[in-house]
Copies of this chain bind each other. A is one copy, B any other.
Amino acid sequence: MNLKSLAEALGLSQTTVSRALNGYPEVSEATRQRVMEAAQRYSYTPNSRAKGLATGRTMMIGQVIPTTLKHEMVNPVFGDFVAGASQALSEHGYDMVFTRVPDIDESRIYREFNARRVVDGVILQGPAISDTRIPLLNEIGLPFIVHGRSSGVSEPYNWVDVNNRRSFERATQFLIDLGHRRIALLNGLDHMDFAFRRRQGYLDAHADSAIPTDPALMHSEEMTEEYGHRLAVSLLASEDPPTAFLCASMIAALGVRRAIQEAGLRMGPDVSVITHDDDLSYLKNGSDMPIFTATRSSVRQAGELLAESLVQLIKDPSVVPIQKMLEAELVVGSSTGPAPKRT
């Protein structure tokens, strides 16, 4: 059933039917009722491609996933983020489309997105430091919003981000206050902006308390459980082991916990651990008493907020840059304690 046949069935013109359906004022209430009812009865749904072709709108939001950087997609955090974002998008009638492309092609894809009019806007994930995609998208003129920020990009752009620097500064300060002096940092990949900011926070806290940092304690890699485990094992076995760990993700923290237990130590009394907690639905940090002391910020909520902002942006591209900073809370669990006295 298409517009034409519906119009014929009703004995009306396509124009009138279209107008009635889309709520234009030029059609009488009686007619509108009749049309609506018929549309219902014949279960007519407009063809979205035709509609898009005519209106220039697609009601789709794009997300490009570079192929070789497999992390994005498989990262559990991504799932929760998408859940939040698609939730919000769907409320405005938008769907989400994922395109995987080889790394090199990424810029081409954005241009194509624009040329082919395949999406109305784009979400940019995992910004690196001085991310080149931002100037690119600005130049193309495709509405977009970044999940995170990109240090080194001077031009304005829209973003939603967690205050990574502050939250890691607070976490580090918390450990310092407990007497820890050797704090290991298990950070995300070096070139990622969020990792950069977290390291800043870590360094700032040390500087504030005039505590020297040790490069041997600062690491960055893909945040897997294995990585957390491997690194904790080697650090704990080192000459001058850390008394505390600051992790960039729950998953890595699980690995750290495993290493601590294997070493015959207790998490909390013997070795302290703080992790960033994205509040993943499948990996809750305890509902009553948190297992890990953590800087918590729901990535799902970030997704919702971001999607909401993007929709608004598409509706009215003239709004000033949307820039929303979320603060992470520091929740205290049983994984931290005073630094053990040196023997």
- Interface residues of chain A, those whose CB is within 8 Å of chain B, are 1, 43-50, 52-53, 58, 60, 65, 67, 70-71, 73-76, 78-80, 82-83, 86-87, 89-90, 95-101, 111-112, 115-118, 223-226, 251, 254, 258, 261, 280-284, 286-287, 291, 300
Of chain B, the residue at the smallest CB distance from A88 is B100
Pairwise interchain contact A86-B58, C-beta atoms closer than 8 A: no
Bound CA–CA A118/B49 (angstroms): 7
Instruction: Specify which of B83, B86, B116 is in contact with A48 (CB 8 Å cutoff).
Output: B116
Pairwise interchain contact A49-B47, C-beta atoms closer than 8 A: no
Pairwise interchain contact A251-B283, C-beta atoms closer than 8 A: yes
List 9 A-B pairs, Cβ < 8 Å. A44-B115, A46-B116, A49-B118, A65-B83, A65-B86, A76-B76, A79-B79, A90-B101, A225-B283
- CB-CB under 8 A from A101, the residues of chain B are 90
A77 to chain B, nearest CB (A): 9
A32 to chain B, nearest CB (A): 21
Assess A97 versus B60: contact at CB under 8 Å? Given A74-B280, A75-B79, A283-B225.
yes
Pairwise interchain contact A73-B49, C-beta atoms closer than 8 A: no
Bound CA–CA A251/B281 (angstroms): 11
- CB-CB under 8 A from A46, the residues of chain B are 116
Pairwise interchain contact B223-A282, C-beta atoms closer than 8 A: yes
A13 to chain B, nearest CB (A): 21
A8 to chain B, nearest CB (A): 17
- In this complex, the member of A87, A226, A282 whose beta carbon has the largest number of chain B beta carbons within 10 angstroms is A282
A76 to chain B, nearest CB (A): 4
Bound CA–CA A286/B46 (angstroms): 51
Pairwise interchain contact B79-A83, C-beta atoms closer than 8 A: no
Pairwise interchain contact A1-B45, C-beta atoms closer than 8 A: no
- CB-CB under 8 A from A48, the residues of chain B are 116-118
Pairwise interchain contact B73-A83, C-beta atoms closer than 8 A: yes
- CB-CB under 8 A from A225, the residues of chain B are 282-284
Instruction: Specify which of B43, B224, B226, B286 is in contact with A115 (CB 8 Å cutoff).
Output: B43
- CB-CB under 8 A from A65, the residues of chain B are 83, 86
Bound CA–CA A44/B224 (angstroms): 41
Bound CA–CA A50/B90 (angstroms): 24
- CB-CB under 8 A from A83, the residues of chain B are 65, 70, 73-74
- CB-CB under 8 A from A95, the residues of chain B are 97-99
A176 to chain B, nearest CB (A): 28
Of chain B, the residue at the smallest CB distance from A60 is B97
- CB-CB under 8 A from A75, the residues of chain B are 79, 282
Bound CA–CA A203/B281 (angstroms): 30
A300 to chain B, nearest CB (A): 7
Pairwise interchain contact B74-A86, C-beta atoms closer than 8 A: no
